[in-house]
Amino acid sequence: MDITIFTGEDYKNLPFKVLKQAAYVRWETIGRKYVERDVKFLRSNPPCFADLVSFYLFAQVNGRVVGFAQFFQDKNDAATWFYGDLEVLQKYRRNGIACQMLTHAFGVLEKKQAAKLLTFVNRWNEPSVKLHEKLGFALAKDQSVDNPYAGADMAVYEYGISHLDSM
């Protein structure tokens, strides 16, 4: 399986087809109606969106986007980063794509002088919990991080970028 992972910082130059594939990866399980909305948003609001998302990762297999993730730098602490929307098309799951994407992100974040990466994981999503633990994420000591999922069964997981030295 040929997997190409690249950052999408300059998404304004990405072909429409690639953006549409990435949007489909994000919304595959809950509805195609969001795909067109996502693509229109990406095309019509690039400066606004660029303020929110620092970079994207797309995983491609044979030229098709099959994985997506977005990474955000904390506006109050440049060494703290968040990521979300790690998605892999259902038919490509359990092939190590998410693991490769996150491993690639660790290298990108190291170059950006990041100290830690945080994410929110549903406590009941066993495959996601196992993936994060396998990669060295641990439950964050501070679960009071500004959690947009407050009230849901979401836990904050933290990865110390210094872990790269031991990989």
* 52 and 72 Cβ atoms separated by less than 8 Å: yes
* 163 and 136 Cβ atoms separated by less than 8 Å: yes
pLDDT tens for each residue of the chain, 167 residues long: 445 555 545 566 667 777 777 777 766 655 666 666 666 665 554 444 445 557 788 888 888 889 988 888 888 888 999 988 888 998 999 999 999 999 998 988 898 889 999 998 888 889 999 999 999 999 887 766 666 655 667 788 889 986 444 44
pLDDT digits (tens, 9 = 90+) for 13-54: 667 777 777 777 766 655 666 666 666 665 554 444 445 557
Give the type of residue at 145: V
Residue 137, both tokens: 């994420």
Task: Write the CA distances from 122 to 60, 77, 83, 154, integer angstroms.
Answer: 26, 25, 14, 4
Enumerate the β-bridge partners of residue 80: 116
For residue 1, the SS3 value is coil
In the chain, the number of structural domains is 1
Please give the Cα distance from 79 to 114 (Å, whole number): 4
Structural domain that includes position 19: 3-166
Q: What's the pLDDT score for residue 50?
A: 45
**Closest by Cα among 51, 75, 164, 50 to 111:** 164
Q: What's the pLDDT score for residue 115?
A: 92
CATH code assigned at 79:
3.40.630.30
pTM comes to: 0.76
Strands 116-122 and 80-88, how do they pair? parallel
Please give the Cα distance from 74 to 62 (Å, whole number): 34
